[in-house]
Each structure stands twice: as C-alpha cells, then as structure tokens.
Structure 1
Amino acid sequence: MPGRDRHLNWHDDAVTSSDGSPPQPPPPPHRAPRSQPARPANQDALAAVELLEAVREDLAAVSLPLALPGVAQSRTEVRNSVAQLEDYILPRYRSLDAPLLAVVGGSTGAGKSTLVNALVGHPVTRSGAIRPTTRQPILLHHPADAGWFEGQRVLPTLSRIRGTLSTEPLPASRAGATPDAEAISSLVLVADPSVPQGIALLDAPDVDSISDDNRRLAGQLLAAADLWVFVTTANRYADAVPWKLLLNASSRDIMVAVVLDRVPAEAEAEVSADLRGLLQKEGLGEARLFVVRETDLDGLGMLPPDSVQPLQVWLRDLAADAAGRSEIARRTLNGTVKALAAKVSAVAAAVREQERAAASLRADAEGAYRDAAARILDATKDGALLRGEVLARWQDFVGTGEFFRALEQNIGRLRDRLGAFFRGEPTPAVRVEVAIETGLQAVILDEAANAGEDTDQRWRSDPAGRALLAADDLSGTAPGFADAAAAEIRAWQAGLLELIRTEGQGKRTQARWLSFGINGLGAALMIVVFSMTAGLTGLEIGVAGGTAVVGQRLLEAVFGEDAVRRLAQTARDDLHARCRLLLAAEQRKFLDRLPPGGTDASHTLADYSSNLARLAERT
C-alpha cells in the first residue's frame, strides 16, 4: 500500500439510485431494504439461505414485553442477532467470494484513524485530539471492488456517501468527515487504489465512545467484519471494554490482528510479552500482533511509512490469496453461525420464560373471575336471593297466609283464584322481576369487583404484572359494567318469559293462563330457579321454602312436574352462561395487557438453534 499524495474530497450527497433519486432514511434493522444478489447455486446453499432468512424473520418478530429479570439483555441480543444476520451472515453466505471486510476498531484515542491513513499512505480519515473523532464509518476499497459495497449487500441499514480523492494535500486533522458530523447512520465509501483488491478497510467509531450511538455503531460494524484489526496502546491494552469485544470475536472464531500502538521502544518487549500472554489466556493465541512504536507524526499527521509495513504486507498477502480469503470468510462465517445458534437458544429460553410468566398472570386473572362466577352460581341456588326485597315483592304478589292454606287444600280452586289474580294484577309480577334484577345485579357487581381486586393484587405481587399495570388501578369493575350486567339480567328474564311462552303453546287447556299470566308465571319460574335453601337459617327456611313451593306448585299445575324441572334447569343454565360471559368481558381489562399467546415461538426458535448448529458444522 504505497504512499500517495492524495486528499479526499467529500460529497454530502449519498450514493443515489440509477434514476438519480435522493436516498431515504434507513428503516429499522429488521425491515431494512436489501439488494437481491444472486442466490447460491447449489441446493445446500439455497437451503442454508432459506433457513437464515426464516431465522431473521422470526427473530425480528420476537417480542419480550414482560419485565422479567434479564429481559433488557435479551432484547439487546435479539436486536443484535437480527442486525448481524442482515449485515454479515446472509450477505456473506450469498457471496463467499466477495472482498474481505477488515474492520479497524478499538478504544478511544488508540490511533485507529492514524493507522488507517498510514496503511493507505495519505490522509483519508480525520485524526486528532477531539473525541469522538470518527463519527461516520469510512470504508476504503479498491476501485475494482466498488460494486460489492455501493449496494445494500452488507450493512443495509446504513445509507451510502461517496467520497472522492484529489491531488490537493490536506493534513489528517482536516481530512475526512468533520468531527461534528451527526450522520452516523451513513457509510462513507472511498475507492482508493492504495487498498489491495480483495480486501476493504473500515475505520469504525470507538468501542468505548462517550456517545451511545457511536458505541452501538462500532458494535454493529465489528459484528459485520470478516476480520478485526484491533488497535490499542501500551497503556490501554488491558481495558475491559475492548477485551469484552475481543472475547466476542473469539466466540465467532474471527481472525484478529492486534495492533499495539504508541509503544515506547524501551517497553516494547515487556508490553508485547504481557499482551501475548493475555491473548493466549483468553483463547486468542492465534491472533497476529503488530507493534507500532511511539514516534512523531509528520506535517500531515502521518506515521513514518515503515512503522506499519508489517501490517501492510500481511493485509496485502491476504488480499492476494483468493483461496486463503475464502477460507477466512468460511471460518468467520461458521464461527458466527455457531455463535448465533447459542444466541438463538438463549432467546428461545427468554421467550419460554415470557410464555410461562404470561400464562401465570393469565391463570391468576382467569382463576379470580372463575371463582367469582362460582360464587354467583352459589348465590343463585342457595336461596340467598329470596331474602329482602325479592321475598317482599313475591309475597305481595301471591297474597297472605290464607293463600297458602288455599293452595294446600285445593289446587283446582287455586287455579281459578290465581287466574283472576293474574288478569287483574299484572303489576306486582313486574315488581318481582325488578326486585330480582336489582338483587342479582348487586351480587354480580360485588363478585366482579372482588375478582378485579383479587387479580390486581396478584399481578402487583409479580414484577411482570406490576409493570403491565403501571399506575392504572384495575381493581373494582370497569365503567359501564353495572349497566351491562343490568342489561344481561333483563335479557335473561326476557328469555325466560319466551321459554314459558314456547312451553305453553301446545297446552290448549292452559291457554287462558298463558294469555293473562305470562309475567306471573315468569316470576314464579324465577323464584323456583333461586329456590334451594341451603344458605338460609331459622325462620327464613320456612318462609323461603313456602315461597318456592307456591311458585313450583303453580308451574306444575300449568305445565307438569317434568316440564317445570326442565324449564328451571334451562333458565338456570342460561343465567350462569350470561354471568360467565359478563365476567369474561370484564377480565379482558387484564388479559388484553398480556402478549398474544399460542404462537409456539419458543419451540420454533429452539429448532432454529439446532439447525444453525448443524449448519455451522457442515459449512
């Protein structure tokens, strides 16, 4: 990479499409626009690409909405995995013969930009004391390799900006993009014949930058690298942040070259030996180590040419060896896919925990409202609803104690007496219905409120449920529930009257009863529905029991014993079904906050993990 007296001119316009239209802001990573290069020819490669595309699509759809321990890290892992599939794995799988992408990365102030300038022999990227210096990543490639990078083959979420070279000299402190440039979502492409064909250099932002965006971008670029040129210094080589990324590179089996920059001559042997020991200890013993001694820069801010010659030769040799480049690409690709398999497995476990947590919260809500439905059911069959207003209105309807004696003495005389009663007194029957509606509504409202409070307490005792509820108070009942309950009760009563009307159609001898006593018979049937007296004590048993007998004897006189039993059961079943529907609608205020279930996403991701591991073994 001989030195050249060139300077880089920057165009603010991004690389445009064939019709000259301006670029659009990049969409989110999992929806990034992608060029469609030719698919691999052989069937195994086609199957591999289909698997990877399916993994990318399903990973991008993963939602981890519940606030479980470690979920923030899992969400980051999902985003990073999707980005790496789009930025590196799929592009490299589709084109193993593409130039290698060597990302130059490292700590703040390590001298990455100065090193890149030295490798090409002239200032192309800005270096200096201002931090962060590199905001926009700069990709240097041989002019013949331009087609590999101008499209969206790699790093598809970054728009392209084309930089051009000129013969006007410019110092490194003024080269490249301005230090206050904010467009870190773009990739600057520079075609330079000083870069050997078959390899590209990418000057990345600092991995420990004070800018969150810069750090994220640096991580994204390193994840897209075929090989990593890690730049550190004699007094920074043991920093934790870059070592974390080095270990990540080791897990991917990526080729790493470590550049130990600004090394005082007297400390070179000691520092180099210590760094080699650290690399060996962390499984990076195969990493190439290049030392750049501490030296003065020239007037353009350039290192002496011979200071980076060993690294230049190494990169040139890699570029010249097509088979070697392919081997490096395959090695990194295999390692990356293998690491992805482990990440997908971890995501599958995180999704499984989300599914379990959601199921537990769902069970809490459904259990509370199921218990409420059971309590309402008990209240409708233990005689409790025959107290108070309902009992008083029914007694007004059927008359005094003499009425009961007449009933016991002569059921035939009762028919005549009740017939006259129904014809002349329809209003008391309606009063019975209203009293039943009011009493039943009170029971339903009370139990629904208990279920809401119970569910709210259970969810707030769980971190995930507490986060879903936030500051919202869902205890009690939702607005409009009282009206919905009243409407449902009235609908039940109307259905009950329709049952009586339908049952009486074939009974000609009872035509006049049905004509004049539908509401009365309906009130009697409602009383029978609530006639079990298990919940009553003392005098109430006798009163409620007599009350139920009146209704039952009356209905049996009209319809027969079997028909009354069937009508009562049908009415009771209808009431309970309506109550369950009411409570099911009420519990939606909790369940609607849960993520949708039934996708079996954890099993799908676990299968992907196994398939990716097998793919890495045979690639």
Structure 2
Amino acid sequence: MVTALVRLRQSLVAAALPLDLPDVEEARASRGEMVDQLEDYLIPRLMTLEAPLLAVVGGSTGAGKSTLVNSLVGERVTTSGVLRPTTRSPVLVHHPDDAHWFGQDRLLPGLVRVDHTTDDPDSLQLVASASVPQGLAILDAPDVDSVEERNRLLAAELMAAADLWLFVTSAARYADQVPWEFLRRAAERTTAVAIILDRTPDEAVQTVATHLARMLASRGLKDSPLFVVAEGTVGDDGLLPAHHVADVRSWLESLADDVDARTEVVRRTLGGAVRAITHRIHAVADACAAQGGVALALQDDVDAVYDDATAALTAALGDGSLVRGDLQARWEEFVGSGDLLRSLDTRVGGLRERLVNTIKGKPQQAERVTVAVDAALQTVVLEHAESAATRAHAAWSAQPHGAALLAGAPGDLTRASRDLRRRAERAVREWQDDVNDLVRREGADRRTSARFLAFGVGGLSVALMVEVLTSDAGAGAADAGAASEGTAGPASASRRLLDAVLGHDDVDTLVERARRGLDRLVGALMQTERTRYLSLVEAVVLEPAAAEKLRGAARRVDDLRYQASQEDAVTGENPPGMTS
C-alpha cells in the first residue's frame, strides 16, 4: 500500500493543470490537498503505524483552543491571548520518550522542527511534557476561520494530518459555516472526531449541547464523542480548573493506554483518508483530460493554420507566380529577345562561336537573376509567415485559455519572427549553393561541350532555379506576355535551355531534386515559426497520459484495499489503511 500511495502521489504531482479552464481552481486545490495529505500524513503514517496517536486540536477563532491544550497538559505549553489570531505556529506536545517519532522525516515533514516559541507558520514547535501520556501527542493548530489566509491553510493541512480531531467550538460559534465544512470533510473520510463544546455558560449548556448533538447526527457524526467544558476562570498559570477538562483528559488517557483502541482510531482515519483520495482522484483526472483536450485543440488550431500556410507557400514556389517583376525582367535580360534560344537551335558549324557571341555579358546577367530569385523567395516566405502568425494569433485570442498563453508569450506573435528574414536569406543562399552543386555534378561529363562551356555552371544554375519556380505552370508553356518575335516565357525558355545542354531526362531529375531541397528548406522555416506557438503549449508541461496514469494509480490502491478487505474477512483483522 505504501508503494501504491507513493506512485499515486507521483501521478498527482505530474498531473499539472496549467490552463485556466472553468472550474480549474477547484481541481488545483483538490490536487494540492491530496498531495499534501499523502506527503504529510498517509505515507509517513503507514510507515510508522506504531507512532503515537496524533490528536490535532482545531476549531473556530476564540473557541479557547490554546487554553484547552494548556489545561489538558497541565502546564502552559502554547500561547493564548486576547488578540486574534493567537496561534500562528503549531505546537506539538508529546511525552519525552516519544520524541523520536516526530523527527523531520516523520509526520508533517514540510514543517521545520524547533524547540522554542515562534510565529513562523512554517515551523513546528516540539514540546516534551511528562504530563502527556506516552502513545499520545497533542497538536495546537491555528484557527480554521482565521482572518489570515496562511493560518487557514495551515490549519487545514494540520487537520488532514491528524489521527484524531479534537474540534473545539463554543456557544457563540458552534453553528458557524467554516467549522462545519471541516466537519463535513471529516465525516466523508470517516476521520475520528471528538467535539469539545468550550466556553459555554452553565445555563446554556443543555440547549446548546442538544442542538449541537442534533447537528452532528444530521451530518454523519452521531458517533463522535461530545464533551462539554464549562466556562470557568483562567488562573494566573493560564489554565482552567483541572475538573473542567477532566472528562476530556480521561478519555485521551484511556486511548493512550489502550493499544487496540488507539490502533483502531488510526486505522479508521487512515482507511477513510485513503478511500476519500481514490474517490477524489477522478475529478482531477477529468480536469487533466480536459486540459489535454484543450491543449490538443490549441495545437490543432496552430497546425491547421501553418499547414495551410506551408501548402500555399509550397504551391507558390512552383506555379510561376514568383517569376514576375524584377525577377522576370532579369530573366528576360538573360534570355534576350530570342537570340539565345535560336543559338541553341543552330545545327551548323561554328556553334561555339555563335553561342559565345550570343552569351557575351550573360554571366553578369545570370548573377542578377540569382539576386532576383533570392529576393523573390525571401519575400514569399515572409508574406506567408506573416499571414500565418496573424491567423494563429486570432484563433488563440478567440479562446480564453489561448489568450492566457499569448499574454505570457515573449515577443509579438501577431508577426513573424524578427529574425525570419535573416534565416530566410541564409536558407535561400543554401538552396542556391545546392543548385550550383547539382549542376556542377550533372555537367561533369559535359564540361568540354560547347554549350556547357558557353553557359557555365552559373548560367545553367539560374536556368534551373527559374525552371523549379515555374515547374508546376506546365512544361513548355509560353508566358502570356511573350512577344510575337519569339521571346520565350519563363516556363519554356528555362526548360529549352536546360534540355539543350543537359538532356531532357537528366533535367527532370535535377528539377525534382532541386524542388525537394527548396521545399525542405522553406518547410523548416515555417516549422520554426509554428514552434513559437506550439512551445507555449509544451511549456505548460502537460503529461499526455496524466489522466489515465492517475486513474490507474487510484485503481491500484483500490485493488489493494479490496484485497485486504477479503483477507480481513478471513483473519478478522483490519489491515492499516484498508478499513472500508
């Protein structure tokens, strides 16, 4: 069972609920309470069943808890006073021989052990007193309805770590809502509870006690002992007269002396706490599943936007739309008014001389085409990235949880990355270098041909780039604006030039390889842009299988409880933490 509870705690810790969904605060609070109880009470208690019974004294502000604790112990061990809240740091009183049970690694390990008076709520003051019977420890907790939130939280934490609740109230406060909320939880967990009606005038004892008993019965606590501490004068030593607390003290001493009774109280509280946690787990698991669903929806929104943008960008890379404006003008300068292509069609002698004469000045024009291709590709990448960022931001902004993630995001996600232009420039240059390498390798056995020598790697590379950018426009299609005297459009001129120099089949392979390289590089750029959004979801540390792991861990604990209950039916014993 200890192993199963440790795994349950690990699953709870991993079940982050970072997204601000409806009702998430309740689930977060429940998760935190369960982790605290597992760490503060269940796991350490199951490992030290023979430790003294821990009775936590809690209740409403002004109910007289500290005075009651001092009176039960028979000496002033905790501070009481007029100002509220009085108790800031919890005080645990134990028999000197039981001191070893309350080290830092035992119950409430999150509280630092001290041996002196302190107001630090993160400290636990240990007081050894021979007046406390061995086998019993009494802990004075802050008010459950304190005006200070830290005190209220600490009180709840301490009550959850109790084997036995000594719930103190008064004639003036016994019907208050906050204390009854704690008692409701105790009933749900079958926690052992004793009610102490304190500071009640003699004439009101019968009326108040009767009404309080009815309230306890109606809320599932009819078997809880009810003690009345008559109103009395507190002496100079800070104690009530001994006979005022004699019934409570006698009952606690009998528990301490009776090992079986004490063990039964511990087992009852442990069993109820374990059962309550396994029941509460499912609400947290549902919240985890909802968080996972929302995170997946956010990711899907971004993926849909960037998938569309990447597809549109990829289409634009080959439909010829980029070969316009400056790029078209530079390409037409390179191709000329038809002389270049007519030279390629020459079938008579002197081919090399004719090509050389036709291509004079073409290297500089080829470089201009390269620069124009560079600019066109950078521009189209930026345009699609800007559009995608705007649409992704709008999709998330329409959802509260998406808007919350955007609010904490670094930079302006409505725009493309500030360094995208620089990265796009680097990617395009890398692609152009790859195209040059492709042409150089493919033309290795043609370098002595007149046509290859005339154009060189640079001239053929720009033709291949233009062919890639027009490859989806239809092989051999003439540009709509081609002149009647034979000026070829981009989709035909580049292909005719490459076919004439390298051969039709080889050109198909080159175009395909160059196009794949370009798609890969621009795809990587868009993926980086997409990641700016996806990383926001990933940063909230959502464990994909958190909900199912929680349910599985809870089922394991329940299986052990059931198995133990079957064994209990045979042996007649109640294994710790298994009581149904």
Cα displacement (A) at 1:417: 4.1
- 1:123 aligned to 54, 59, 76, which one? 76
User: Which residue matches 1:22?
Assistant: none
Judging changes above 3 Å, is the alpha-carbon distance between structure 1 residues 116 and 520 closer, same or farther for their aligned structure 2 residues? same
**2:572 is the alignment partner of 1:572:** no
User: Which residue matches 2:164?
Assistant: 227
User: Which residue matches 1:78?
Assistant: 31
- 2:466 aligned to 527, 531, 545, which one? 527
- Is contact 1:254-1:332 (8 Å) kept? yes
**Is 588-597 or 388-397 further displaced after alignment?**
588-597
Cα displacement (A) at 1:569: 1.4
Query: What is the distance in 2 between the residues matched to 1:406 and 1:515?
Result: 11
- 1:600 aligned to 542, 545, 551, which one? 545
What is the 5 A alignment of 1:421-440?
421-422=358-359, 424-440=361-377
**2:499 is the alignment partner of 1:556:** yes
User: Which residue matches 2:298?
Assistant: 361
Query: What is the distance in 1 between the residues matched to 2:98 and 2:4?
Result: 29
Q: Which amino acid aligns with 1:540?
A: A
User: Which residue matches 1:500?
Assistant: 439
Judging changes above 3 Å, is the alpha-carbon distance between structure 1 residues 186 and 515 closer, same or farther for their aligned structure 2 residues? farther
What is the 5 A alignment of 1:482-493?
482-493=421-432
Question: Deviation string for 1:553-591 (max 9, x for gaps)?
Answer: 111122221211111111111111111100111222222
**2:9 is the alignment partner of 1:56:** yes
Cα displacement (A) at 1:616: 3.7
Cα displacement (A) at 1:347: 2.5
Query: What is the distance in 1 between the residues matched to 2:195 and 2:21?
Result: 39
Tell me the SS of whatever aligns to 2:480. Answer: helix
- Is contact 2:327-2:373 (8 Å) kept? yes
Higher relative contact order (CA 8 A, sep 6+): 2
Tell me the SS of whatever aligns to 2:115. Answer: strand
Question: Deviation string for 1:343-366 (max 9, x for gaps)?
Answer: 333332222222222222122222
User: Which residue matches 1:612?
Assistant: 557
Query: What is the distance in 1 between the residues matched to 2:110 and 2:453?
Result: 77
Question: Deviation string for 1:265-309 (max 9, x for gaps)?
Answer: 232222222212221222222211111223333343422222222
Judging changes above 3 Å, is the alpha-carbon distance between structure 1 residues 230 and 152 closer, same or farther for their aligned structure 2 residues? same
- Is contact 2:87-2:143 (8 Å) kept? yes
Judging changes above 3 Å, is the alpha-carbon distance between structure 1 residues 288 and 548 closer, same or farther for their aligned structure 2 residues? same
Tell me the SS of whatever aligns to 2:228. Answer: strand
- 1:194 aligned to 114, 131, 137, which one? 131
Question: Deviation string for 1:514-557 (max 9, x for gaps)?
Answer: 575211111111121122338xx997365797322111111112
Q: Which amino acid aligns with 2:523?
A: R
Question: Deviation string for 1:28-72 (max 9, x for gaps)?
Answer: xxxxxxxxxxxxxxxxxxxx2222222333433443222222333
Q: Which amino acid aligns with 2:95?
A: H
Judging changes above 3 Å, is the alpha-carbon distance between structure 1 residues 351 and 439 closer, same or farther for their aligned structure 2 residues? same
Q: Which amino acid aligns with 2:35?
A: V
Tell me the SS of whatever aligns to 1:540. Answer: coil
- 1:155 aligned to 108, 132, 154, which one? 108
Cα displacement (A) at 1:512: 6.2
- Report the TM-score, using the length of structure 2 for normalisation: 0.90
Tell me the SS of whatever aligns to 2:536. Answer: coil
Judging changes above 3 Å, is the alpha-carbon distance between structure 1 residues 361 and 230 closer, same or farther for their aligned structure 2 residues? same
Query: What is the distance in 1 between the residues matched to 2:84 and 2:551?
Result: 43
**2:254 is the alignment partner of 1:317:** yes
User: Which residue matches 1:3?
Assistant: none
Q: Which amino acid aligns with 1:548?
A: A
Judging changes above 3 Å, is the alpha-carbon distance between structure 1 residues 248 and 597 closer, same or farther for their aligned structure 2 residues? closer
Tell me the SS of whatever aligns to 1:140. Answer: strand
Query: What is the distance in 1 between the residues matched to 2:542 and 2:94?
Result: 48
- 1:385 aligned to 310, 317, 322, which one? 322
User: Which residue matches 1:282?
Assistant: 219
Q: Which amino acid aligns with 1:264?
A: P
Cα displacement (A) at 1:602: 2.1
User: Which residue matches 1:473?
Assistant: 412
For the aligned residue pairs, the C-alpha RMSD in angstroms reads 2.5
User: Which residue matches 1:348?
Assistant: 285
Query: What is the distance in 2 between the residues matched to 1:142 and 1:560?
Result: 99
- Is contact 1:335-1:616 (8 Å) kept? no
Judging changes above 3 Å, is the alpha-carbon distance between structure 1 residues 414 and 113 closer, same or farther for their aligned structure 2 residues? farther
- Is contact 1:422-1:517 (8 Å) kept? no
Q: Which amino acid aligns with 1:60?
A: V
Judging changes above 3 Å, is the alpha-carbon distance between structure 1 residues 155 and 414 closer, same or farther for their aligned structure 2 residues? farther
**Is 119-128 or 419-428 further displaced after alignment?**
419-428
- Is contact 2:278-2:557 (8 Å) kept? yes
Cα displacement (A) at 1:482: 0.4
Cα displacement (A) at 1:410: 5.8
Q: Which amino acid aligns with 2:432?
A: Q
**2:480 is the alignment partner of 1:540:** yes
Question: Deviation string for 1:393-437 (max 9, x for gaps)?
Answer: 111001114555666676998876445544652110111111111
Query: What is the distance in 2 between the residues matched to 1:412 and 1:488?
Result: 43
Tell me the SS of whatever aligns to 1:280. Answer: helix
Query: What is the distance in 2 between the residues matched to 1:268 and 1:140?
Result: 29
Q: Which amino acid aligns with 1:120?
A: V
Structure 2: runs of 5+ lacking an equivalent: 565-577
Cα displacement (A) at 1:489: 0.8
- Is contact 2:72-2:249 (8 Å) kept? yes
User: Which residue matches 2:529?
Assistant: 586
- Is contact 1:344-1:608 (8 Å) kept? no
Judging changes above 3 Å, is the alpha-carbon distance between structure 1 residues 411 and 122 closer, same or farther for their aligned structure 2 residues? farther
User: Which residue matches 2:270?
Assistant: 333
Query: What is the distance in 2 between the residues matched to 1:127 and 1:411?
Result: 117
User: Which residue matches 1:19?
Assistant: none
- Is contact 2:92-2:139 (8 Å) kept? yes
**2:462 is the alignment partner of 1:517:** no
Judging changes above 3 Å, is the alpha-carbon distance between structure 1 residues 355 and 415 closer, same or farther for their aligned structure 2 residues? farther
**2:239 is the alignment partner of 1:302:** yes
User: Which residue matches 2:572?
Assistant: none
Cα displacement (A) at 1:129: 0.9
Query: What is the distance in 2 between the residues matched to 1:142 and 1:305?
Result: 19
Q: Which amino acid aligns with 2:480?
A: E
- Report the TM-score, using the length of structure 1 for normalisation: 0.84
Query: What is the distance in 2 between the residues matched to 1:605 and 1:395?
Result: 67
User: Which residue matches 2:85?
Assistant: 132
Tell me the SS of whatever aligns to 1:592. Answer: helix
Judging changes above 3 Å, is the alpha-carbon distance between structure 1 residues 399 and 413 closer, same or farther for their aligned structure 2 residues? farther
Q: Which amino acid aligns with 1:153?
A: R
Q: Percent identity?
A: 44
User: Which residue matches 1:20?
Assistant: none
Query: What is the distance in 1 between the residues matched to 2:482 and 2:212?
Result: 96
User: Which residue matches 1:446?
Assistant: 383
Cα displacement (A) at 1:160: 1.5
Tell me the SS of whatever aligns to 1:513. Answer: helix
Q: Which amino acid aligns with 2:210?
A: A
- Is contact 1:141-1:197 (8 Å) kept? yes
Structure 1: runs of 5+ lacking an equivalent: 1-47, 164-176
Query: What is the distance in 1 between the residues matched to 2:53 and 2:353?
Result: 103
Q: Which amino acid aligns with 2:127?
A: V
Query: What is the distance in 2 between the residues matched to 1:389 and 1:413?
Result: 34
- Matched positions, count: 554
Tell me the SS of whatever aligns to 1:458. Answer: helix
**Is 417-426 or 276-285 further displaced after alignment?**
417-426
**2:394 is the alignment partner of 1:394:** no
Question: Deviation string for 1:88-145 (max 9, x for gaps)?
Answer: 1111111211111000000110111111122122322222211111112111112221
Tell me the SS of whatever aligns to 1:96. Answer: coil
**2:46 is the alignment partner of 1:93:** yes
